Amino acid sequence: MLGVNKAVVIAPVQHWSQDIISFLTRPAQILRGYSRQDFRPDLLAGLTVAIVTLPQAIAFALLSDLPPQTGLYTAIIASIAGALWGSSIHLNTGPTNTTSLLVLSTLITIAAPNTPEYLLAAALMAIIVGVIRLVMGLAKLGVLVNFVSDSVIIGLTAGAGMLIFVNQLQHLLRIPVPRSPYFTTTLAAIAVGIGQTHWLSLGLGLITIGIIVGVRRVNRNLPGPLLAMIVTTLLVAVFSLDSRGVIILGELPRGLPPLIIPPITDVDLIQKLFAGSLAVAAIGLVEATSIARVIAIQSGQRLDSNQEFVGQGLANIAAGFFSGYTCAGSFTRSGVNYTAGARTSIANVFAGLFVLLALLTVSSYAALIPRAALAGVLIVAAYGMIDRREMARIWHASRGDTLIMIATMLAALILPLQFAVLSGIIVSIVRFMVRTSTPQVHPVVPDDSFAHFVEVDQRPVCPQLAVISVSGSLYFGATQHVENIIRTNADQHPGQRFLLLRLHLVDHCDISGIHMLESVVRLYRQRGGDVYIDGVRRAVKDQMHMINFDRLLGADHFLDRGQSISYIFHKVLEPSVCIYECQERIFAECQALPKWSYGSKIPDAVSLPSYDIPSWRPSELKERLTLNGKDILLVDVREPREYQQGHVPRAQLIPMRHIPNRGKELPHNQTIVLICRIGRRSRLAGIILKDMGFEQVVNLQGGTLAWEAAGYPLAVE
């Protein structure tokens, strides 16, 4: 027994260890499967991506108030590490606009820009983000990104776009504005200093924007930002605009990305960075997996979100140790990589190497790049982040998603961005929990064709049977909602002693759900009825079996969807109620039943006083028939179809509806034993006969069901 327990523990550990080895040895898998035929397409795609990356890496680093070379270092290291350890062929990892703004929002409250402390904090933040993503990947928590709704991403991206736009206005106009993570503070400061606009800088920025927009209209595949930066840099060089107040980047340092050791033991700094790092980690993973998924739909590639988490984690950790900052997947560069014809993830390795080559050879030419031109690049990117078409779709499609989108966007403008991200994620999770905790639970009846069930609404219902459909998961958060609706329906229809639960749309049931079902079963059985379930899925039924709920309910109470109503109608419900007390025809099985209103058909001379009708048990009737059968007359008061399916031997048929008229034909000198299915109709018939003057009237207790259950045979016509 001990050996079995060890195996139960060891097997999952071994499987998890194999998964970790597989995650971490991803580069070996890529290189083993690499083909010579892929080299040239990957090389050309990598060159194309590098051309797009160069201006973006510099601009996004400046967006975070980091030196431009930090963006280039990040683009080199992250592109290579993300490609080798990620899952997507085309996803390019590196600096992005949203991530850069989140980094700025987090770091600006901790250290002053352009200080060694600021750079070290940026590197440490990248490592923290990387560790979070790596742990999530190794723990196979890729499914968690599904809890961040698209409305949060759309709202956050739109808010971030507005923040980037406002933050870059100070560089476009060359206005001295104090750094602030708050939208309104920055906007107010720009409004105050608008009179100090430097017109040459503004002109260069507008030229940059015009070139990018114009190139896109001509050919979207051309590197518009790079061309704009080349043109504006030439203008600065030819007309010496730097001597006339235009701010330029200055020469970039040459060489490989330097190795640094961030303060990974500074617990106080880690605590200050953790909230922002958690927000960046979550949003970055959602962005990366969403981008990879969109491109994979077109390329036909199969993705592993957990492997992608590992790749994103290692890319950030590597960037942190090699003078970079937090990175994520880029939609623009990934799309360029796909359209450029990349065949494997090695294309992104080539892209990183080409950026490195540019840093080693042509970085000196970046010295004259005007800061206003980079602001123009970022302003165009910020405008593209506001997805007006998707926002309009959300506005028209869902009120809940619209509220989440607007709330997240406003939070991004009012709160520090990292808290806006976390609040958006929390709202998404809360909304998910609220929605799943209130699954759809509706009393239903057949439609006019008896082919489907529809909500009751204003339709009549069966007086004996409640049919309730449940759609959703029966987990701890939803059980009270489901049980409340079932109990409310039971209180509204006290005559419905039987319940059919349609669970074919229930995909999960935990122990709380089982306890709720047990409570419902006890409720109906205490009322003299019972509960039946149809359409239960295999996984849910297995769960019920493991907790022994199937024993409590009974194996014969699990019914097939197509036969459940028929079974309950013929085997469970009391036909007398259908015939004498219900004027509706709810189910297909009701259509052939005769309907008779006792009050309207009974002769005026017959009333319904309350008589005490004696009853005999089946064994007692059997014994009396054996001893003195000639003095006993058996009368079956059911309908002809019921009688033909099986009746007590020697019983003659007089349907209940004929008792007031044909009862006069019965002898007064014999004991009349009245029989129905369960004893309800026969007791009513006995009351009528008593009122007509018959003294020797007896009811068979439990009817034909009790007779058959006692082991006595039924005669079949």
Under 8 Å between Cβ of 23 and 306: yes
pLDDT, averaged in runs of 10, over the chain (717 residues): 47 68 90 92 91 88 92 96 94 92 90 92 96 92 70 82 86 85 84 92 95 89 85 92 88 89 93 91 82 77 88 96 94 83 94 94 83 88 85 86 87 77 75 82 90 86 93 90 94 92 92 94 93 93 90 93 88 79 83 61 46 89 87 91 90 89 89 91 88 92 91 88
Q: Note whether 255 and 360 are within 8 A (CB).
A: yes
What's the chain's length in residues?
717
Rounded-to-integer distance, Cα 30 and Cα 37, Å: 14
Q: Which fold has domain 440-581?
A: Transcription Regulator spoIIAA (3.30.750)
Check residue 341 and report its DSSP letter: T
Report the alpha-carbon distance of residue 507 to residue 549 in Å, rounded: 17
| Residue-wise DSSP of 53-104 | HHHHHHHHHHHTT--HHHHHHHHHHHHHHHHHH-S-SSPEEE--HHHHHHHH
Strand-strand pairing, 697-700 and 530-534:
unpaired
Residue 211 near residue 228, CB atoms below 8 Å = yes
Nearest CA to 622 among 685, 711, 715? Answer: 711
Tell which residue, 80, 103, 106, 102, has the closest CA to residue 93: 80
pTM: 0.64
- Residue 540's Cβ-count burial label (10 Å; 0-12, 13-18, 19+) is buried
Three-class SS of residue 438?
coil
> DSSP labels for 587-617?
SGGGTTS----HHHHS-TT---------EE-
**Cα 275 to Cα 143, 179, 499, 582, 610, distances in angstroms:** 21, 20, 50, 65, 76
Tell which residue, 194, 208, 205, has the closest CA to residue 172: 205
Decide: 81 and 329 in contact? Cβ < 8 Å.
no
Three-class DSSP labels, 559-584: ECCCCHHHHHHHHCCCHHHHHHHCCC
- Residue 271 CA to residue 124 CA, distance in Å, equals 11
Q: Report the distance separating Cα 381 and Cα 498, nearest Å.
A: 63
User: Per the residue annotation, which of 327, 578, 590, 676 is the catalytic one?
Assistant: 676
Residue 341, phi-psi category: left (phi > 0), alpha (psi -120 to 50), beta (remainder): left
643, two tokens:
């009688």
Q: Quick check: is 676 catalytic?
A: yes
Q: How distant, in Å, are the alpha carbons of 243, 415, 441, 470, 657 from that of 514? A: 78, 44, 16, 14, 44
**pLDDT in the model for residue 163:** 84
Torsion (CA) 561, 566, 568, 571 in degrees, nearest 10: -140
∠ Cα 177 183 187 (to 5°):
50
Q: Which residues contact 63 (CB under 8 A, 6 or more apart)?
A: 97, 100, 101, 104, 164, 167, 168, 378
Task: Please state, in angstroms and rounded to a whole number, the distance separating the CA atoms of residues 636 and 576.
Answer: 13
Q: Per-domain residue ranges for the chain?
A: 38-188+249-366+387-429, 440-581, 605-709
Dihedral pair phi/psi, residue 471, rounded to 5°? -130, 110
pLDDT in the model for residue 717: 72
**Taking a C-beta distance cutoff of 8 angstroms, is the pair 228, 208 a contact?**
yes
Cβ–Cβ under 8 Å, residues 476 and 512: yes
To the question of domain 605-709 being in CATH 3.40.250.10, the answer is yes
- Tell me how far apart the 2 most distant CA atoms of the chain are, in Å: 131
Q: Is 585 helix (H, G, I), strand (E, B) or coil?
A: coil
DSSP state of 715: B
Instruction: Give residue 482's pLDDT.
Output: 94
